[in-house]
Amino acid sequence: MNFAYYPGCSLHASGREYDESTRAVFEALGVGLQEIDDWNCCGTTALPSTNYLFSLLVPARNLALAEQKGQDVAVACNSCYVSLRRAKTVYEGNPVWRSKMEQALAKIKTNFSGKVQVRHVLDIVVNEIGLERISANVKRPLQGLKVVPYYGCQIARPLNEFAHPELPTEMDRLLKTLGAKVLRYDHKTKCCGGSHITTKEADTLGLNQELLDEAQMRGAEAIVVSCPLCQLNLDAYQEKINQRFNTNYQIPVIYFTQLLGAAIGVPLKKLGLNRNLVPAKRLVQKYIGEVI
C-alpha cells in the first residue's frame, strides 16, 4: 500500500502535529506515504467564489502530479479533501468544464486523466488498513478515555464518498477499537465555520461554542478531529469563546492520528501532543501513561 501524500498548507503550518502524527502512524503500520513533489495550495473554500476555473485547476495540478507517479492521493485535511475531489468530479462529470480544464492544463504541460483516487486519511485507516489490523497493533489501549468524534462538515458533505453525510461512524469505530469510550455527539458533522473565523468571527465563535457545549454536556475529556481548520477553531479560540460566552471549557482538541499513534505504540514525541493550546498534558499522563 502506497499513497501520494498531499499535506496541504495547514499541515505544514498550524496543523503541524496532524502531519507529524499521520506520517508516524502510516510508517508504523507499514503503509507508504510519499509527499507529492512541488505540491501547491488546494484553493480551499475561498477560491471557488472568486474564479471557478482557477479553483478547479489549482487542485487538479496536484492530482496530475500524483497521477504521474501512478499513485492514489492520501489527504488529511477535510477542506483539501473536498477541493481535490471537486476537481476530479467536475473533470469527470462535466464535459464543458473538462475541456476548459484540459486546455488550461495543457498550457503548463500537465495532463490529467481523472483516474487518480482521492482518499481521506480516515478512510484509508478504517477501510484500507482496516480495524482488525489496527486492533492487533494496539499496545497501549486508551483505557476508556471519554471522547467525542468531531468529523467536521467537509469530510461528509457535499458528495459524501465514504462517510454518511450526517451521522458517520468511521471515527467512532476507530476510537472504540483504540479503547476509548466514544460518547454520543449529535454535532459530529456540524460546521465549525472554517475560515469564516477570520471574516465573521462573532458568528463563527457561536458555532464553535455550540460544538464545545455539547462536548462538555456529554462529559467528553477530549474532542477528536480530522481537520486542521476545525482543530484551530476549537483549540486556538477556546479561550476567546470562554470570554465571550462566559463559559469555562477546557477540552483538549486532538487529531485522531495522534490518538491512533499513541495507542499503537508510536513514541509520543513523534505525535506532537505538546502543541495543543488547550493542553493535553494531563490527559496524556492519565490515559497514555507518559509525561510530555
Partner 1 sequence: MPEIRTGVYVCHCGSNISEKVDVAAVVDFAAKLTGVAVSRDYKYMCSEPGQELIKKDIRELGINRVVVASCSPRMHEPTFRRALNAAGLNGYLLEMANIREQVSWVTLNPAQATQKAKALISGAVRKVRSNQPLEEKYVEVNPNVLVVGGGIAGLEAALKIANSGNQVYLVEREPSVGGNMAKFDKTFPTLDCAACILTPKMVEAGQHEKVKMFTYSEVAGVDGYIGNFKVKVRKKARYVDLNKCTACGDCEKVCPVNTADAFNEGLSERKAIYKLFAQAVPNVYQIEKKDKPPCRVACPAGVNVQGYLALTREGKYREALALVRENMPIPAVCGRVCFHPCEAECRRGELDEPVSINAVKRFLADYENKQGQPPVVNPQAKSGKRVAVIGSGPAGLAAAFYLNKAGHEVVVFEAKPEAGGLLRYGIPEYRLPKDVLKRELDYITDSGVKLRTNTRLGRDFSINDLKKQGYDAVFLAVGAGKEQNLGLEGEELSGVMSGLSFLEAANSRQKLDVNSDKVLVIGGGNAAVDAARTAKRLGAGSVEVIYRRTRNEMPAFAEEVAEAEREGISFRFLTAPLKITGKAGRVTSVECQQMELGEPDESGRRQPIPVPNAKFTLAADYVLVAIGQRVDPLFGGSKYVDIETNSNGTVKTNQYYLTNVLGVFAGGDMVTGPARMVDAVAAGKEASRMIDAYLRGETMPEREQPAKGQKEPLTGKKYYEVLRHRSPHLAVDKRGWRDEVVAALSEQDVMAEARRCLDCGVCSECFECVPACHAQAINHQAQDEYVDLEVGSIILATGFENLDPAVGVQWGYRRFPNVLTGLQFERLSNASGPTGGKLLTEDGREPEAVAILHCIGSRDKNYQEYCSRVCCMASLKFAHLVKEKIKAKVYEFYIDMRAYGKQYEEFYNRVQDEGVNFIRGKGAEVLEKSGRLVVRAEDTLLGAFREVPVDMVILNSALIPRRDAGAVAHLFSIQRSRDGFFLESHPKLEPIKTATDGIYLAGTCQGPKDIPDTVAQAAGAAAEALEKITAGRVKVSPITAYNIAERCSGCKTCIAMCPYKAISFDEERKVAIYNEALCKGCGTCVASCPSGAARMRNYETDQMLEIIEGVCAV
> Cα separation of 66 and 127, whole Å?
21
Q: How far is CA 195 from CA 58, 113, 115, 153, in A?
A: 19, 31, 30, 13
Q: Does residue 167 touch partner 1 according to CB under 8 A?
A: yes
CB-wise, 201 or 213, nearer to partner 1?
A: 213
Instruction: Pick the stretch among 52-60, 117-125, 164-172, 219-227 that binds partner 1 (CB under 8 A).
Output: 164-172
CB-wise, 13 or 167, nearer to partner 1?
A: 167
The 90-119 site mask, x for binding partner 1 (CB under 8 A), equals ------------------------------
Instruction: Pick the stretch among 36-44, 53-61, 159-167, 256-264 that binds partner 1 (CB under 8 A).
Output: 159-167
Q: Does residue 290 touch partner 1 according to CB under 8 A?
A: no
> Cα separation of 84 and 61, whole Å?
9
CB of 187 to partner 1, least distance (A): 9
Q: How far is CA 196 from CA 80, 136, 192, 204, 228, in A?
A: 16, 41, 9, 6, 14
Contact 175, 259 (CB under 8 A): yes
> Cα separation of 199 and 193, whole Å?
10
How big is the CA angle at 160 (ends 214 and 22), to the nearest 5 degrees? Answer: 70
> Cα separation of 252 and 234, whole Å?
9
Interface positions, 62-91, toward partner 1 (CB under 8 A): none
CB-wise, 92 or 186, nearer to partner 1?
A: 186
Q: Does residue 37 touch partner 1 according to CB under 8 A?
A: no
CB-wise, 108 or 217, nearer to partner 1?
A: 217
How many residues touch partner 1 under the rule CB under 8 A: the total is 4
Q: CA 283: distance to chain centroid?
A: 21
Q: Does residue 166 touch partner 1 according to CB under 8 A?
A: yes
CB of 167 to partner 1, least distance (A): 6
CB-wise, 37 or 203, nearer to partner 1?
A: 203
CB-wise, 157 or 240, nearer to partner 1?
A: 157
Three cell numbers, residue 226:
480530522
Interface positions, 182-241, toward partner 1 (CB under 8 A): 186
Q: How far is CA 139 from CA 22, 93, 110, 265, 270, in A?
A: 18, 45, 45, 6, 16
Q: Which residues bind partner 1 (CB under 8 A)?
A: 164, 166-167, 186
